[in-house]
Structure 1
Amino acid sequence: MELFHHIKSVRDALGKARAAGKTVGFVPTMGNLHNAHLALVQQAKQHCDVVIVSIFVNRLQFGLNEDWDKYPRTLQNDAAKLREIGCDYLFCPEEGEVYPNGMDAQTRVIVPSMANVLCGASRPGHFEGVTTVVTKLFNIVQPDIAVFGIKDYQQLAIIRRMVEDLCIPVEIMAGDIVREADGLAMSSRNGFITAQERPRANQLNQSLNWVKQAILDGRRDFDVLESEAKKQIEMAGFRPDYLSISNSKTLEPAANDDTDITVLGAMYTEAARLIDNVSLSVVN
């Protein structure tokens, strides 16, 4: 595996790969890698000749009350994991390489219709930071395929819309949620769940699946279902952030005649904010 810190060197290496007729798969990350990240890399390997992973802790997507400085930097361990599964290139730029004119002067990329709801309502400016850095990384790497996890469903939907709106020639591929044995979605945030909370931490997933089954059983009182699911989360001792039955493509509140629905939710433990989602197709 080759390691790069500068845009020119990674572009040169990828240019040689393309000149040899190879397709390029890309997995952007902020590091602190776990098995769910590695599954995305393995998925990219199945579809492309060479795979590049980026590790960049993007300050632009952290809010005022989110501690960018304390985000885990585990580059040595991350590189070892990537090398073990056969990743070809690792791109780890410094902030000045990605934002050469500084953060305040940085041109921003915004998806206005989808960025300020759900997680965006709780984390103002977050998705603006995501879409800006992903656009820059796409311009640097110029991949044929980029793989993003479905666990961050809103992020995936926003990036798909951004690529469509800006005519970026990259195929966005979704990677399935990797779950613990009890259904809890794998996340670096899970390390902040206390031992006392852990046996109940899968409540979000349970409530989302309860809503999914209720819809499949014919219920269309979506507001009531959302309220009942939030109460389930509260009864388990957690604080719901949101729970939304949404149109899978637009993320707008689902209409009764929508056929593709995603139920998205977020809840707070003592020290973590967990997100999850489930999707379903309805035959009207």
Structure 2
Amino acid sequence: MEQDIEVIRDKNSMRNWSRTKRAQGEKICLVPTMGYLHRGHLALVEEAKKRATRVVVSIYINPAQFAVGEDFSTYPSNFEGDLDKLKDLGVDTVFVPSDLYVREDNAGAGKGQDNIASGCISCLEGKSGNGHETWIRVEKMEKPLCGKSRPIFFRGVATVVAKLFNIVEPDFAVFGKKDYQQCRLICRMVRDLDFAVEIVGCGIVRDSDGLALSSRNVHLSPKERQEALSICRSLNQVKDAVCNGQISTGILQHSVLEAVRNAGGKIDYVEIVDQETLQHVDRIDLPVVLCVAAWFGGVRLIDNIELQAPTS
């Protein structure tokens, strides 16, 4: 018989649920999401089911990672659709907090995210000193790549993930490698702050045309979607070039930059960095990752490919 999903909205109730299950000998895996679930998210859930007896999927659009002018207020959502997809996969528990931050004078607390009019980090900041003011910074790893154009993004990511870990208390947590910098940054935070959580990174899930799955893809026009395919095509061309002996990161980066620009994209960055430290490298000798961020219309897309020079 099909089992209903338990939706938990209260932090204490979520913590009590986890502690009860763990006392019964169960293992818990957390899949943090911002909702509007696609096949990429569902692949994370499938991986989580291999690791634990209980899977908790969190759905929370985190205002702390959106700066003024970014797309918090237009970020897509379909809560009932998300529940249906998770139910089909056999997930029995979803954590949907109304708010994870203490607002100035408690304004908006418990009223749900629809109450956040400004829709970004500014709604958490106040003048009275009563609002949220504790942040986690992974100081070096947050600065390159997406951190250059989104300087508060990873502060918000690290903080909300730490809060989820403290509330859910999972044994495992699964993250997608499409957000490569995020995945590596969370691994470093867990190591440095001694969280008792094993982080599992999962490979990128792509649509049939090669575009990396993203909740934001829904905002692409048909023309922009076709133009955006230049990203994955150029990444595959770089992989071929490396297999054929090209190890100069400058040449490889330039080829991607030109391909995306010629297709109509506006480049945020094209960088080849060390997989562990995310620091720029000039030649491919250690394992590296080529990361791309580009705008097509009003949609910012990210993608990447892990690379290693041939050993012959």
TM class by shorter chain equals over 0.9
Report the 3-state secondary structure (helix = DSSP H, G, I; strand = E; otherwise coil) of the residue aligned with 2:223: coil
What does 1:1-284 align with in structure 2 at a 5 Å threshold?
1-95=5-99, 98-100=100-102, 102=104, 103-104=124-125, 105-256=132-283, 258-283=285-310
Q: C-alpha separation between the residues in 1 aligned to 2:284 and 2:245?
A: 12
| CA distance in structure 1 between the aligned counterparts of 2:149 and 2:226, rounded to whole angstroms | 26
1:99 is aligned with what amino acid?
Y
Q: Which segment is superposed worse, 50-59 or 226-235?
A: 226-235
Deviates more, 1:82-91 or 1:252-261: 252-261
Equivalent residue pairs, number: 282
Once superposed, what is the RMSD of the aligned Cα atoms? 1.5
Which stretch of the first structure deviates more once superposed, 82-91 or 256-265?
256-265
8 Å contact 2:243–2:310 — kept in the other structure?
Answer: no
- Structure 1's consecutive aligned runs of 4 or more residues displaced over 4 angstroms after TM superposition are none
Q: Displacement, 1:191?
A: 1.1
Deviations 1:5-56 (A, max 9, x none): 1011111111111111000000001111111111111110111000001111
AA partner of residue 245 (structure 1)? I
User: d(CA) in 1 for partners of 2:133 and 2:93?
Assistant: 27
Structure 2's unaligned 5+ residue stretches are 105-123, 126-131
Deviation at 1:168, TM superposition (A): 0.8
Which one-letter code corresponds to 1:127 in the other structure?
A: F
> What's the CA shift for 1:57?
0.9
- 2:120 aligned residue: none
Deviates more, 1:248-257 or 1:141-150: 248-257
Distance 1:282 1:220, change over 3 A: closer
Where 1:70 maps in the other structure, the secondary structure is coil
| Deviation (angstroms), 1:257 | 6.0
Letter matched to residue 277 of structure 1: N
Deviations 1:31-90 (A, max 9, x none): 111111111111101110000011111100001121322222322211121111111210
Helix, strand or coil at the partner of 1:116: coil
CA distance in structure 2 between the partners assigned to 1:116 and 1:261 by the alignment = 17
8 Å CA contact retained: 1:111, 1:128: yes
Q: Distance in 2 between matches of 1:91 and 1:83?
A: 14
Instruction: Answer whether contact 1:247 1:258 (CA < 8 A) is retained.
Output: no
- Gap runs ≥5 in structure 1: none
2:250·2:282 contact (CA, 8 Å) conserved in 1? Answer: no
Q: Take 1:242 and 1:53, find their aligned partners in 2: how far apart are those partners? A: 31
Question: Scaled by the length of structure 2, what TM-score is found?
Answer: 0.87
Deviation at 1:130?
0.3
Q: Distance in 2 between matches of 1:235 and 1:224?
A: 17
The share of aligned pairs that are identical, in percent, is 41
